[in-house]
Amino acid sequence: MTSQTSTAYEKYHVPPKSRLAICATTGLMLSVYGAASIMNDMTFGDPGVSTNSWSIFLCGLFFFLATLFAWFRTAIRENLAGLNSAQLKHSYVLGMFWFIFSEVMFFLAFFGALFYVRNLVGPWLAGEGEGGRMNGLLWQGFEFSWPMMQTPQEAVGGAAAQPLANNGTFAGPQTSLSFAQAHAWWAWLPLWNTVVLLSSSFTCHLAHMGILDGDRRKFNLWLAVTVLLGMLFLCLQAFEYHEAYTHFGLTLNSGIYGSTFFMLTGFHGFHVFMGMTMLLIQLLRSVLGGQFTASDHFGFEASSWYWHFVDVVWVFLFLFVYIL
241 binds other proteins (CB under 8 A): no
**Nearest CB to other proteins, comparing residues 133 and 247:** 133
Residue of 139, 306, 309, 314 that binds other proteins (CB under 8 A): 139
Shortest reach from residue 205's CB to other proteins, in Å: 26
**Nearest CB to other proteins, comparing residues 101 and 235:** 101
Which residue type occupies 160?
A
Shortest reach from residue 285's CB to other proteins, in Å: 20
306 binds other proteins (CB under 8 A): no
19 binds other proteins (CB under 8 A): yes
Within 74-113, which residues bind other proteins (CB under 8 A)? 87-88, 90-92, 94-95, 98-99, 101-103, 105-106, 108-110, 112-113
Q: Which range, of 129-137, 193-201, 268-276, 297-305, touches other proteins by CB under 8 A?
A: 129-137
Give the SS3 label for residue 15: coil
27 binds other proteins (CB under 8 A): no
145 binds other proteins (CB under 8 A): no
Which residues fall within 8 angstroms of residue 280, CB to CB, at 6 or more apart? 227
Q: Which range, of 5-13, 195-203, 207-215, 220-228, touches other proteins by CB under 8 A?
A: 5-13
29 binds other proteins (CB under 8 A): yes
* Dihedral over Cα of 68, 305, 288, 229: its sign: negative
**Nearest CB to other proteins, comparing residues 39 and 323:** 39
Q: Which range, of 199-207, 245-253, 278-286, 300-308, touches other proteins by CB under 8 A?
A: 245-253
129 binds other proteins (CB under 8 A): yes
Rounded-to-integer distance, Cα 119 and Cα 117, Å: 6
**Nearest CB to other proteins, comparing residues 9 and 186:** 9
Rounded-to-integer distance, Cα 234 and Cα 131, Å: 40
Q: What is the DSSP letter of 134?
A: G
CB 285 within 8 A of CB 293: no
Residue of 62, 116, 239, 270 that binds other proteins (CB under 8 A): 116
117 binds other proteins (CB under 8 A): yes
- Number of residues forming the site for other proteins (CB under 8 A): 84
Count of CB atoms within 10 A of residue 185's CB?
Answer: 8
Shortest reach from residue 14's CB to other proteins, in Å: 5
Helix ranges, 8-150 (H) = 20-44, 53-80, 86-116, 122-125, 135-138
CA distances (Å), origin 158, targets 150, 252, 285: 11, 17, 56
36 binds other proteins (CB under 8 A): yes
Concatenate the DSSP letters of all residues of 220-275 into one string: HHHHHHHHHHHHHHHHHHHHHHHHIIIII---TTSHHHHHHHHHHHHHHHHHHHHH
Give buried/exposed letters for 24-48 (b at 16+ CB in 10 A, else e): beebbebbeebbebbeebeeeeeee
255 binds other proteins (CB under 8 A): yes
Shortest reach from residue 214's CB to other proteins, in Å: 28
65 binds other proteins (CB under 8 A): no
Q: What is the DSSP letter of 12?
A: P
270 binds other proteins (CB under 8 A): no
Which among 226, 221, 194 has a CA at the least distance from the CA of 210?
Answer: 221
44 binds other proteins (CB under 8 A): yes
